[in-house]
Amino acid sequence: MTTAATPRPSVLFVCVHNAGRSQMGAAFLTHLAGDAVEVRSAGSAPADAVNPAVVEAMREVGVDISAETPKILTVEAVRSSDVVITMGCGDACPVFPGKRYLDWRLEDPAGQGVDGVRPIRDEIEQRVRGLLAELGVPAA
């Protein structure tokens, strides 16, 4: 999975607004893998801010994403990632040969309160733990 130029795997999480699912995925991967994985997140049409219910749901499990901001998806971000995980970004994600693409179909937390976000958060955490196992990176 790693190349000579990248001594550690690089993972990019993508959703439309980069305000919910992709932020949670990136936060869990960073939280569980530390510096063992390079982590990015982006959106094809980024929102102005991270969903407050997502921030609160992550705070409940000890992960603070209150300082995160949605970022625009760039071709360079995809090109420099080993694994690209799409979370409902549709056809907006550029596809490059040699990249590993995973499509995680998850409910959109937009418009939901913390109660609605919790099951999505928990599903993302389980998928991130599975990804770490596949990458051979021990979870913290």
121 is annotated as an active-site residue: no
89 is annotated as an active-site residue: yes
Q: Which of 39, 87, 89, 131 is catalytic?
A: 89
Q: CA separation (Å) from 88 to 34, 56, 71, 92, 108?
A: 26, 22, 16, 10, 8
Q: Cβ neighbours of residue 115 under 8 Å, at least 6 residues apart?
A: none
Helix (H, G, I), strand (E, B) or coil at 25: helix
Q: Which of 50, 93, 124, 137 is catalytic?
A: 93
| φ and ψ of 91, to 5 deg | -85, 0
Q: Cβ neighbours of residue 62 under 8 Å, at least 6 residues apart?
A: 31
106 is annotated as an active-site residue: no
Q: Which of 12, 14, 15, 85 is catalytic?
A: 15
Q: Residue 117, exposed/middle/buried by CB under 10 A (0-12, 13-18, 19+)?
A: buried
Active-site residues, by number, are 15, 89, 93
